[in-house]
Amino acid sequence: MKPSYRLLARAYATCERFIFWDALQRCRSAFIKDLPQRCLSIGEGDGRFAEALLKAHPDAQLEIVEPDEAMRKVARQRIPNLSFVQLAEAKPCDVVVLNFVLDLFNEDEAHRFLDQLPDHEIIIVGDFFPEEVEGKIPRKLAGTLIWIMYRFFALTTGLETKELPPTRRILESRDWTCIREQIQWGGFLRAQYWERHVSFPVKRTVLNWSIGPE
């Protein structure tokens, strides 16, 4: 069954802030000021990445793939002139943005999803990485939080996925390199900037609990 955000779309930002305050939005907007012109945001949700991008780059060429009607409606209320497309119709672009989207898929589904993307040079990922927490947050606690979130999404949207795919391994196996990473919550939350066919090491920025995006 395809998940439906009908019950959640309007309350999505509020629910998120209840647990994470502004950490997820900082993750979504981590690399915005460095993004090139042609951007495809997939699974945009309620429009908060688009809003931040267009505020920073009013002339950005932004296309959005968002299959859920309720999410599209909330996004349009936020920014009336958004350009929604089907994935198959999306134009080649400079950057594909995947904020909290790969976590909808298992490993095989994630590969099939990535196979469908139009030509692009950069991938931005924002997501949870409970296996990579460092220091402050115990891995078990991070895993429990993920378990609770999947149960919450199962109840409210009908999402059937039950665990995160190995995002880093998936992208590395496809010849992508994470060259920049912005970390919050002890590595639980990561914004990642991926490029293809490069070998220089990752530049990592660790955000404290209270400072703004890079």
Question: In this chain, which stretch among 63-71, 130-138, 184-192, 193-201 interacts with ligand SAM, using CB under 6 A?
Answer: 63-71
Minimum CB separation of residue 152 from ligand SAM in Å reads: 11
Question: In this chain, which stretch among 37-45, 55-63, 165-173, 200-208 interacts with ligand SAM, using CB under 6 A?
Answer: 37-45
C-beta of 33 vs 140, nearer to ligand SAM:
33
Give the C-alpha separation, 120 to 193, whole Å: 13
Minimum CB separation of residue 28 from ligand SAM in Å reads: 5
Task: Determine the distance from the C-alpha atom of residue 87 to the mean position of all C-alpha atoms in its chain, rounded to a whole number.
Answer: 16
CB atoms within 10 A of CB 8: 21
Q: Give, in degrees to the nearest 5, the angle at Cα 50 between 177 and 124.
A: 5
Q: Among residues 43, 39, 69, which one has the least CA distance to residue 57?
A: 39
Instruction: Check residue 189 and give left, alpha or beta (phi > 0: left; psi -120 to 50: alpha).
Output: beta
Q: Which of residues 90-119 bind ligand SAM (CB under 6 A)?
A: 99-101, 104
Among 28, 120, 168, 180, binds ligand SAM (CB under 6 A): 28
Q: Among residues 28, 127, 44, which one has the least CA distance to residue 85?
A: 44
Among 53, 64, 65, 124, binds ligand SAM (CB under 6 A): 65
By the rule CB under 6 A, 74 interacts with ligand SAM: no
Residues at the site binding ligand SAM, with contacts judged by CB under 6 A = 5, 28, 42-45, 49, 65-68, 71, 99-101, 104
